[in-house]
Amino acid sequence: MSRLILFIILFLLLYAILRYLIKDMAVCRKKLSRKSEPEELVQDPYCQTYIPKRSAVKKKIAGRLLYFCNQKCMKNYINQTTQNHKKGLTNSNRFVML
């Protein structure tokens, strides 16, 4: 009788371990499949570089959601647009230097 109880306990323990390992493997597969998908790139309006959308700094300006490569580019863009508005420049007659 004691052997039967010991056998059942060992079986349940083995079942729990295998279930945990299989569940963990499924999570790893999902992570790997996400990494293999192509990542969307967005362009920084200030320095014109392309950066991954999920790592970009996001800021809503004038009703548009803009993506920046870092905080410095965002601040420079905001300063540039406020100076252009003070000077009376619009998007159509602004000269962009590359």
pLDDT tens digits along 45-77:
999 999 999 999 999 988 899 999 999 999 999
pTM for this model (two decimals): 0.52
Residue 96 inside a domain? The answer is: no
Same-domain status, 45 and 82: yes
Amino acid identity at 38: P
Same-domain status, 32 and 49: no
Total domains in the chain come to: 2
* Cα angle, residue 13 at apex, residues 9 and 16 outer, rounded to 5°: 140
Same-domain status, 5 and 32: yes
